[in-house]
Structure 1
């Protein structure tokens, strides 16, 4: 079991399902992405940068998401209050898979 799999296994089954889907999206978009645990959360190398996610009681945090003017209107729907780089995906709603794919693709080109 990888460190990321261990991290995901600590959450409730419904949350684990969403985290596993999110993890798989990284590999779908970037098959050779490197995953690790950084800052106590899953980290995925995308180009010169890393994207991170972590689960909370009511949402999944996705970081850092800034510098993507071409999709800012879509990203703004999920932007955490009082932050410029954090997105919140509520656990009681479907993950915005296409938006996440776009973020990964665009960040990998920066």
Structure 2
């Protein structure tokens, strides 16, 4: 069992389902990326020795979170994120109100573009 599998399987059932769904969306879009634990949360890192983190996610007592590992990605999508509590570096969601797939994909695309442009 991978570290990511262990992290997800240790959660309450509703969070397990929510993060399994989010993981599947990310894995389908980032099939060549590495699944890792970074900052004590699962996520996807670009391959290679200097691969950057593209997306991370985590579960907490009252919610789950999505982390693009950048403070400039989430603010690009005020309309898509309006239904969620956000900070420049995180989106909070619950299993009963998960992130829509188009939002997740938009966040991933923005992060990949940022990495391509800035290298960070």
Aligned partner of 1:71 in structure 2 is: 77
Aligned equivalents of 1:56, 1:90: Cα separation in 2: 10
Do the aligned residues in 1 keep the contact of 2:63 with 2:93 (CA within 8 Å)? yes
Q: 4+ runs of 1 displaced by more than 4 Å?
A: none
TM-score, normalisation: structure 1: 0.82
1:101 and 2:94 matched: no
Aligned equivalents of 1:30, 1:103: Cα separation in 2: 12
Partner secondary structure for residue 66 of structure 1: coil
CA RMSD for the aligned pairs?
A: 2.0
**More deviation in 61-70 or 34-43?**
61-70
Do the aligned residues in 1 keep the contact of 2:4 with 2:36 (CA within 8 Å)? yes
Aligned partner of 1:49 in structure 2 is: 53
Do the aligned residues in 2 keep the contact of 1:53 with 1:61 (CA within 8 Å)? yes
Choose the corresponding residue for 2:89, options 67, 78, 85: 85
Instruction: Pick closer, same or farther for the CA change 1:18–1:63 going to 2, 3 Å.
Output: same
Aligned equivalents of 2:27, 2:43: Cα separation in 1: 12
Aligned equivalents of 1:13, 1:44: Cα separation in 2: 22
Aligned partner of 1:19 in structure 2 is: 19
Aligned equivalents of 1:104, 1:12: Cα separation in 2: 26
Deviation, 1:99, is 0.3
**Structure with the greater relative contact order (CA < 8 A, sep ≥ 6): 1 or 2?**
1
State the number of aligned residues: 108
Aligned equivalents of 1:73, 1:27: Cα separation in 2: 25
Structure 1 gap segments, 5+ residues each:
none
